[in-house]
A and B are shown apart, each in its own frame.
Chain A
């Protein structure tokens, strides 16, 4: 008789002592893979100047490469939900896109080796990120009262940060015009860090707590504070964060978490594919989602592979606190070096490109990415036994951030380490999470 898996309490990261987890989505992921490929073909038609190419002659080769890498998606069907699942799926999509682009790229580097390295790095990252979900022993937990105070403090800190940031810049600008003013932004270093931590970690954390408790007014207030970061930072991420969090909250209310993770990428990308069929008016949406959000991280890996096939490796010298100890062949930040080399603006990229290809080259990239996977696995461990929906909402901003910024930067500047700390301190019992009733309102 089949074991009934449907009444399982859906805590993330139950660890080996817990019951089995039912399988995640399979065909949905396959449709997502197909949609990715179609999206990249459409992107190549409008954005060939950004070195995103497509050629019919290599289509069959690309299909075979994608089909082979699609086997890795089985991990996403069998693995339980965790923070690593969330981040890992986004990285998987990025590597899938890179493998597709590598079949058509006109850059002159060893594409076969780069593709094998990228696929190996992806697997090396995913194995710990998906499979290590055991909780760690916690020596301290916030009480319900302390949690209340913390949430209030976050709202106050958020407001104070917005006020401080507004002193330096506050402009109401349309999204398509932000680049006219972005170069003028100058914040003190400490304020940069605070803005990153508050907008990426603290406010989403607060939103998740309020949403889980059904404290909708405070949840809305948190979203409003998040939105106010847009006129200050002029960042697309800041503009879309409230909609993003709201979307994840709604999706996760009705769907299983792993399905939600897949849909957060699949649905916007599919909408872009459909909209672009209606003409160039949809180019703003298509450019923001299909090009900037999905294609650019993969294309960045293509560019970094090309650049570092002909230039010296960095051996992590781009990490600021390592710079005094390592000789650096580059005086400027990597994103600026790449921007000057390819003329496409500052070109920052994920750990696969920066801490992998740029730092240690193709051969040792999987080793570095395995270590990054362990860092994410630590995130799984500290968030174990938290409601999956809570993890989804509180960590919602980070998968996108991980795609575009090195892991060390995400941890320190963007607040991932802070979020890990908050997860660690979060109470796990039903009563302490929900102040109004003892029933976990998932």
Chain B
């Protein structure tokens, strides 16, 4: 196209300028790329405290919230502490670019910087981790205490229930003995009644007959009373057995409560360090080839722009 020829003519006319700017810029930028220092990574990780919820381990606090707290609140406080300890500001400027990335229940804390800042980076991360754990310890302690209170309460209730069931058992036994006594007495009365019936039959005297019939009636009343009593005792015994079953069930519930609370207490996890601040022994080198390509692009643009600018000034 004619427009391209025009541009190429312009570049050809100022070829020396073009090449000078291109190579000069490329040289300067390449030098900068080659002099880019290799960075190192100091990494640590903590696991946010967790508890068993609905048969699943869940974090006590959303890890991404903790991560934001780390970079938003704890980082500033830690930097201030380091500053007060005499760490120079340029070093603080570098290490302040700390990142906290939540991964599941863990938080990965990363600092990238020159290898000479390894000690300061580690100290910074230690300060942040200590503060993070300390702030959460009270919460976990509170939960643990709550578990202990729940277990004690369940144990006391269980003991009370056991006492109750012992008392009810005694009652059932006593009722059983009473029922047996009543049964024996009933048998005796029935035997006596049948004896009286046999005695009454051959009696010729009216007075004797009346006396025996009165005794028979009295015996029958006694038998009715005893039968009613036996029924009452039987009803009471059934109630006591039901109560005993209920108390045994409640005792079982308390046992389950104690077991599950002890399990929850055992599984309750505090916020803890899973990886202390450590220097990753692989340098985070810049992708020099990639950056050199960028340097080439910038050089071409600078050379092209310079030639066009000079051409416009000429016009």
Q: A77-B308, A131-B1 are in contact. Are A67 and B13 (CB under 8 A)?
A: no
Closest 10 CB pairs of A and B: A64-B294, A26-B305, A20-B6, A67-B297, A26-B308, A67-B294, A27-B305, A78-B7, A23-B308, A67-B298
Cα distance A56–B7 in the bound complex, in angstroms:
38
**A77 & B298 in contact (Cβ 8 Å cutoff):** no
Determine if B297 and A71 form an interchain contact, defined as CB atoms under 8 angstroms apart: yes
- In the bound complex, do residue B13 and residue A64 qualify as a contact, i.e. CB atoms below 8 Å apart? no
On whether the beta carbons of B301 and A2 are closer than 8 Å, the reply is no
Among A4, A68, A70, A78: residue with most chain B CB under 10 A: A78
Q: For the complex, what is the distance from the CA of A78 to the CA of B2, rounded to whole Å?
A: 10
Q: Which of A19-75 contact B (CB under 8 A)?
A: 19-23, 26-27, 30, 56-57, 60-61, 63-65, 67-68, 70-71, 73-74
Give the interface of B toward A (CB within 8 A): 1-7, 9-10, 13, 97, 99, 112, 286-287, 290-291, 293-295, 297-298, 300-301, 304-305, 308-309, 311-312, 314-315
Kindly list chain B residues whose C-beta atoms are within 8 Å of the C-beta of A70: 297-298, 301
Is A20 a contact of B3 with CB atoms below 8 Å? yes
**CB pair A21 B1 closer than 8 Å:** no
Q: Of all chain B residues, which has the CB nearest A2?
A: B13
Tell me how far the C-beta of B315 lies from the nearest C-beta in chain A, rounded to whole angstroms.
Answer: 5
Name the residue on A nearest B39 (C-beta).
Answer: A57
Q: Which residue of B lies closest to A62 (CB)?
A: B294
Chain B positions within 8 Å of A78 at CB level: 3-4, 6-7
- CB contacts (< 8 Å) of A63 on chain B: these are 294
The closest CB in chain A to the CB of B286 belongs to: A60
Question: Is A183 in contact with chain B by the CB < 8 A criterion?
Answer: no
**Min CB gap A365→B, angstroms:** 23
**Which residue of the partner chain B has the closest CB to A24?**
B308
**Could you tell me the distance between the alpha carbons of A60 and B294 in the complex, rounded to whole angstroms?**
10
How far, in whole Å, are A427 and B290 apart by their CA atoms in the complex? 52
Q: Nearest residue in B to A65 (C-beta to C-beta)?
A: B294
User: Can you name the residue of chain B whose Cβ is closest to the Cβ of A20?
Assistant: B6
Chain A's nearest CB lies how many Å from the CB of B238?
64
B298 contacts A57, C-beta separation under 8 Å:
no
Are B297 and A68 in contact, CB atoms less than 8 angstroms apart? Answer: yes
Residue of A nearest to B10 (CB): A23
Of all chain B residues, the one with the shortest Cβ separation from A63 is: B294
> Assuming A23-B312, A26-B304, what are 16 further A-B pairs, CB within 8 angstroms?
A20-B6, A23-B308, A26-B301, A27-B309, A30-B301, A57-B97, A67-B297, A67-B298, A68-B293, A70-B297, A73-B301, A74-B304, A77-B308, A78-B3, A78-B4, A131-B1
Interface string of A78-97 (1 = CB under 8 A from B): 11100000000000000000
Q: Are B293 and A77 in contact (CB under 8 A)?
A: no
CB-based contact B3/A21 at 8 Å: yes
A19 to B315, CA, bound (A): 17
Least CB distance from B88 to A in Å reads: 20
Q: How far is the CA of A26 from the CA of B7 in the complex (A)?
A: 12
B297/A5 in contact, CB under 8 A: no
Q: Which residue of A lies closest to B97 (CB)?
A: A56
Q: Shortest beta-carbon distance, B19 to chain A, in Å?
A: 17
CB of A6 within 8 Å of the partner chain: yes
5 CB-based A-B contacts, threshold 8 Å: A6-B315, A16-B2, A60-B291, A73-B301, A80-B3
In the complex, A60→B311 CA distance in Å? 32
**For the complex, is A3 an interface residue (Cβ under 8 Å from B)?**
yes
Candidates A65, A71, A80; contact of B300 at CB < 8 Å: A71
Shortest A258–chain B CB gap in Å is: 12
Closest to B36 in A: A60
Which residue on chain B has the smallest CB distance to residue A33?
A: B301
Known: A5-B315, A6-B315. A20 touches B2 (CB 8 A): yes
Q: Which of A3, A26, A70, A131 has the most CB of B within 10 A?
A: A26
Which residues of B have CB within 8 Å of A77? 7, 304, 308
A residues near B315, Cβ cutoff 8 Å? 4-6, 22
How many whole Å from A48's CB to the nearest CB in chain B? Answer: 12
B6: chain A residues at CB < 8 Å are: 3, 5, 20-23, 78
Q: Which residues of B contact A27 (CB under 8 A)?
A: 305, 308-309
Q: B286 — which chain A residues lie within 8 A by C-beta?
A: 60
CA of A306 to CA of B311 in the docked complex: distance in angstroms? Answer: 45
Q: Closest A residue to B297 by CB, please name it.
A: A67
Most chain B Cβ neighbours within 10 Å, of A65, A74, A79: A74
Q: From residue B98, how far is it (CB to closest CB) to chain A in Å? A: 11
B contact residues around A67 at 8 Å (CB):
294-295, 297-298, 301
Q: Give the interface centre of B1, B5, B97, B294 by most chain A CB atoms within 10 Å.
A: B294
Residues of chain A with a CB closer than 8 A to B291's CB: 60, 64
Whether A16 lies near B293 (C-beta < 8 A) is no
| Closest chain B residue to A131, Cβ basis | B1
Question: Which residues of chain B are near A21, meaning CB under 8 Å?
Answer: 3, 6
Q: Shortest Cβ distance from A32 into chain B, in angstroms?
A: 12
Please, how many angstroms separate the alpha-carbon atoms of A102 and B211 in the complex?
118
Bound form: Cα–Cα A5–B287 in Å: 44
How far does the alpha carbon of A154 sit from the alpha carbon of B297 in the complex, in Å?
Answer: 49
- Tell me which residues from 98 to 146 in chain A have a Cβ below 8 Å from any Cβ of chain B: 131
Complex Cα gap A70–B287 (Å): 20
Task: Looking at the assembled complex, report how far the CB atom of A342 sits from the nearest CB atom of chain B, in whole angstroms.
Answer: 18
How many Å from the CB of A1 to the closest CB on chain B? 10
What is the bound-complex CA distance between A16 and B97, given in angstroms? 55
In the complex, A70→B312 CA distance in Å? 21
Q: Which residues of B contact A19 (CB under 8 A)?
A: 2
Q: CA of A6 to CA of B2 in the docked complex: distance in angstroms?
A: 16
A residues near B309, Cβ cutoff 8 Å: 26-27
Closest to A64 in B: B294
Min Cβ gap A204→B in Å is: 28
Q: Which residues of the other chain, A, contact B112 by a CB distance below 8 angstroms?
A: 57
From A74, which residue of chain B is reached at the shortest CB distance?
B304
Contact of B293 with A23 in the complex, beta carbons under 8 Å: no
* Distance from A29 Cβ to chain B, minimum over Cβ atoms (Å): 8
Q: Which residues of A contact B312 (CB under 8 A)?
A: 22-23
A30 to B9, CA, bound (A): 22
Are the C-beta atoms of B297 and A23 separated by less than 8 Å?
Answer: no
